[in-house]
Amino acid sequence: MRLSNRASNNGAQILRRSYSYNDGVNFYGERWPPWRQELEYDAGLLFVAHQRDPRTAFIPINHRLAASDLMNQFTTHVGSAVFACPPGAKPGSYIGAGLFDA
């Protein structure tokens, strides 16, 4: 919390929400010595962040977390994506029309 705090990041902040999931367990068995058998958990955490520009908040904060967060030894990053959400439509216009105004 301290590493991602607004006061620690020159006022940069992100609105974030996490969602945990658990899709059960899968049996895992090796066919070669030592014939290990165990259960693999299909569980994790989805992290969603909302901000106006990822370059001004999300990227600097995550660089700081990547360098100093002790929880990194227990986590595995699987993937990420950035999505643009256009502004709503005004009467008589269409969604995203403001993006094309010069």
The residue extents of the domains of the chain are 6-99
Which residue, 10, 17, 19, 18, is CA-closest to 57? Answer: 10
Identify the pLDDT of residue 102. 53
Identify the pLDDT of residue 63. 85
Identify the pLDDT of residue 34. 67
- 61-64: list long-range contacts, CB under 8 Å, 24+ apart: 61/3, 61/4, 61/9, 61/12, 61/14, 64/3, 64/4, 64/8, 64/9
| Cα 73 versus chain centre, distance | 17
Consecutive sets of 10 residues in the chain, 102 residues long: mean pLDDT of each?
80 86 78 70 83 85 84 80 83 84 60
